[in-house]
Amino acid sequence: MTPLSDPDASPLRVALTGAAGAIGIVLRPGLLRAGHRLRSHDLRPLTAAAAGEELVEGDLRDSAIVDKVLAGIDVAVHMAGTSVERPLDEIIENNLRALSALYEGARRHGVRRVVFASSNHAFGMHEAGHQLGLDAPFRPDGLYGLSKAWGESMARLYWDKHGIESVSLRIGSALAEPTEIRHLSTWLGHRDLLALVRRAIEAPAVGCLAVWGVSNNVRRWWDNTGAERLGYRPVQDAEAYAAAIKAAQAPVDPLAARFQGGSFAASGCTRTAQGSGKLSG
């Protein structure tokens, strides 16, 4: 077996789920360029395979599809799933049932590590400006964020019970460029995104780790102290866009401005923007 070790060592056999999604389309060429032997998956049709790449299309709730995705794989990068707030049934199918099928497949096939797309929305009801470490309590801002808290617990279960490593990436706003005030804190630039995922794949012996997926923004709210063994060192900073964003910014909903989850937190929220609605803790 190829050791999980430093970059530039032997190529790893990597499966990427959700390869046609907003993050997948950044990671797919990036991981191929990094020299990994990639198996790209999506429910939707994928563009033609590159040299050395395999493709699998299908629904991850189906264990036969999971088998095709994970057979012979060292590391599964799981980006598939619902990535916004949706009705409970859809969240359960795509983010709970499919994730469970993926981890069961990882166990069947001896996959050594899962890189799981968690989200800042598992913490979105923390107040904006409040600094969060890796041990911050989950405060989901909706069913989507709640599914990511569940996913991080699933990662823990499969490490504790089956020795499958996981890196849960608490992804902020993964965009080519930040476009709103909130992004000055939450932005994860594409260069940093690829660097983060490469470290999550390649770093040796991570055990069960969660890390904030954020660039080196001077206004960031999230602190990765404790995850140094991953070796993630972001270089992008949303501050370079601050003046342009402020000049163009439309008025922000006060509830969206109050909470880290922004519009996800404000949606359907019956608290007040400040004062009597102040949350404890």
CB closer to ligand 15L out of 65 and 181: 181
Least Å from the CB of residue 223 to ligand 15L: 17
CB closer to ligand 15L out of 169 and 209: 169
Using rule CB under 6 A, residue 217 touches ligand 15L: no
Say which residues have a Cβ less than 8 Å from residue 77's Cβ, sequence separation at least 6: 14, 15, 16, 17, 27, 31, 115, 197, 200, 201
Using rule CB under 6 A, residue 94 touches ligand 15L: no
Q: Is 144 a catalytic residue?
A: yes
Least Å from the CB of residue 86 to ligand 15L: 11
Say which residues have a Cβ less than 8 Å from residue 140's Cβ, sequence separation at least 6: 121, 122, 123, 124, 125, 146, 148, 149
Compute the distance between CA of residue 74 and CA of residue 274 in angstroms, rounded to an integer. Answer: 48
> Pattern 23-62, binding to ligand 15L, x per CB under 6 A?
----------------------------------------
Compute the distance between CA of residue 33 and CA of residue 42 in angstroms, rounded to an integer. Answer: 20
Say which residues have a Cβ less than 8 Å from residue 6's Cβ, sequence separation at least 6: 202, 204
> Which of 103, 144, 158, 232 is flagged as catalytic?
144
Amino acid identity of 82?
A: T
CB closer to ligand 15L out of 84 and 250: 84
CA distances from 21 to 18, 37, 230, 238, 259 (A): 5, 20, 25, 23, 26
CB closer to ligand 15L out of 4 and 117: 117
Using rule CB under 6 A, residue 95 touches ligand 15L: no
Which of the residues 116 through 175 are near ligand 15L (CB under 6 A)? Answer: 119-121, 171-173
Burial annotation 2-31 (CB, 10 A radius, 16+ → b, else e): eebeeeeeeebbbbbbbbbbebbbbbbebb
CB closer to ligand 15L out of 53 and 152: 152
Using rule CB under 6 A, residue 215 touches ligand 15L: no
Site residue total, ligand 15L (CB under 6 A): 9
- Residues with a catalytic annotation lie at 144
Interface residue list for ligand 15L (CB under 6 A):
83-84, 119-121, 171-173, 186
